[in-house]
Amino acid sequence: MSVKLSYPGVYVEEIASAVRTIGQVSTSIAAFAGWARQGPAGRPVRCLSWFDFERTFGGLDGRSYLGYAVSHFFGNGGSQCYIVRTPSAADVTAEAVVDGLEVEATGPGAWANVYQLVTKPRADDTSRFRLDIVVKASGVVTESYANLSLEPFDSRFVTNVIGDESQLVIVTKADVTKKVTAKTVDLAGGVDGPAIGPGDAAFDTALMGDGATTGIYALAKVDQFNLLNVPGYTATANLAKLEKFCRDHRAFLLVDSDKGSTPTSSAMTGAPDSSLTGSDAINAAFYYPWLLAPDPQQQYRIRSFPPGGAIAGVYARTDASRGVWKAPAGTDASLSGVVGVTIPTNDAENGVLNPLAVNCIRKFPVYGAIVWGARTLQGADEIGSEWKYVPVRRTALFIEESLYRGLKWVVFEPNDEPLWAQIRLNVGSFLNDLFRQGAFQGTTPKDAYFVKCDKDTTTQSDINRGVVNVLVGFAPLKPAEFVVIKLQQLAGQLAT
């Protein structure tokens, strides 16, 4: 808007730039689901380190692959993940009542029985109180909340504060007619049901939830996740549903092979189950075989583990060092903390599996265990998909998510040439940055990408319907999967 001219003099008017930077979104936020003996249930919990997982979910437990997968993820370069705990239906949640407060643990199980609640009103204002969550045996305060109130419209209303901040308890009821007095009350009644995992019907039920908002679908509540793995899970019908869930959220599913499968067994003589190779399979990859690694829970004896957690870590490490357009495979994709694989494969066996979109993990001299495949589950030669390779698909997902978030400012702007020019400028700038980082083929930007947004892509009919169409194309980098060396003997030539 121009300034109002009222008196003779010099006026200064600031004009907004047409540049709106499109940020590059994260590409390696992982999500894992599985049984853990403690921790919140029904909602994803973000962990920024192994210590976060250990503190919240209890660390390693020999009855579940979840802790090991998370440990392998962080050990191989991962930096951020979400955890979805799938407790047994037989688990019972610990509870406590303090005056007008009814409190329960954030998740079921006997783990919360070790805590007690300590309340203390403020001396100068008895309508406000402090709540400490204390370890009974040691007296250590693990969580503390001050200036809480029972008034529903207060900014420190106890239900809201505890629900938003606590990893240990939630307040299910607050009686506003009562006052909280100084008390110490134990959390009690928590009961551990049996551990459940892949292969158990109870685990399938807990994992899939209601198919909309619970179980693994609780991840829909988080802002963004890029990689999903359910350690050791091979139920193809549900994995197909997880493929669709990942595609709907522009994420990528890492599928573990069956623990006992071999290159000559029925599970591996053909492509993965046909229910996993449909149209949603472009957002998934299949890894074989399982890994051999020391188990701290068994005096570091060597045990077999599903590969998904370590593979997710390799994805994150490769993204950070080389970019999402680099295949998470090859001699750089070594697996830390892994001593070998359960079933070694040779070149001939690898040559049978690779065309079937099975990404092998192999052990080579000097390099150790490395990822030796980078195909999506639609990457079988017979399918001939344009999304054959993992880095090509993940680059597309990265661009889609970045543009989806970076172009929200366009909504409700006047739909005409000035807007289209701004879109071309900003999207072109974003893609040019990627080109300079080496994300695309070609020696010039013209060879590497294009952005089209004009009267050809957006007709008058589109304008009347409130639609603006942006066409973006890019030339992806594809991995050098086969290196062919041609050697010729040079015959001596006589001078004439």
Q: Do 356 and 285 lie in a common domain?
A: yes
Sequence-separated (6 or more) residues with CB below 8 Å from residue 250: 226, 283, 397, 400, 401, 404
**Cα–Cα distance, 369 to 374 (Å, whole number):** 15
- Tell me the per-residue pLDDT of 121-141, one tens digit each, with 9 for 90 and over: 998 888 899 999 999 999 999
DSSP secondary structure letter of residue 160 = H
Q: Do 112 and 220 lie in a common domain?
A: no
Sequence-separated (6 or more) residues with CB below 8 Å from residue 278: 240, 243
Q: How buried is residue 5: exposed, middle or buried, by Cβ count under 10 Å (0-12/13-18/19+)?
A: exposed
**Per-residue burial over 248-278, b = 16 or more CB atoms within 10 Å of its CB, e = otherwise:** ebbbbbbbbbbbebbbeeebbeebbeeebbe
- Tell me the per-residue pLDDT of 229-278, one tens digit each, with 9 for 90 and over: 999 999 999 999 999 999 999 999 999 998 876 665 544 544 577 788 89
Q: Do 5 and 54 lie in a common domain?
A: no
Edge-to-edge strand ranges of the sheet holding 128-135: 141-149, 128-135, 115-121, 183-186
355 in any annotated domain? yes
Q: Do 34 and 17 lie in a common domain?
A: no
Cα–Cα–Cα angle for 455, 457, 462, rounded to 5 degrees: 80
For the chain, residues with pLDDT lower than 50 are 266-267, 269-270
49 in any annotated domain? yes
Q: Do 223 and 362 lie in a common domain?
A: yes
400 in any annotated domain? no
| Domain endpoint, select from 158, 186, 214 | 186
- Answer whether 410's CB lies under 8 Å from 423's CB: yes
404 in any annotated domain? no
Q: Do 117 and 57 lie in a common domain?
A: no
What's the domain count of the chain? 3
458 in any annotated domain? yes
* HSE, side-chain direction, 13 A CA sphere, residue 154: 16
347 phi and psi, to 5 degrees? -60, -40
CATH code assigned at 317: 3.40.50.11780
| Domain endpoint, select from 155, 186, 217 | 186
| Domain endpoint, select from 128, 152, 186 | 186
Q: Do 256 and 381 lie in a common domain?
A: yes
CATH code assigned at 153: 2.60.40.4290
116 in any annotated domain? yes
402 in any annotated domain? no
Q: Do 385 and 496 lie in a common domain?
A: no
Q: Is the peptide bond before 289 cis (omega within 30 degrees of 0)?
A: yes
Q: How far apart are the first and last CA of the chain?
A: 84
Q: Do 177 and 203 lie in a common domain?
A: no
97 phi and psi, to 5 degrees? -125, 125
Q: Do 326 and 463 lie in a common domain?
A: no
407 in any annotated domain? no
**pLDDT of amino acid 266:** 44
Cα–Cα–Cα angle for 107, 193, 197, rounded to 5 degrees: 90
Q: Do 209 and 350 lie in a common domain?
A: yes
Q: Do 273 and 324 lie in a common domain?
A: yes
What the block records as the tokens of 171 is: 């307040």
**pLDDT of amino acid 1:** 60
- What is the span of the domain harbouring residue 494? 1-22+414-496
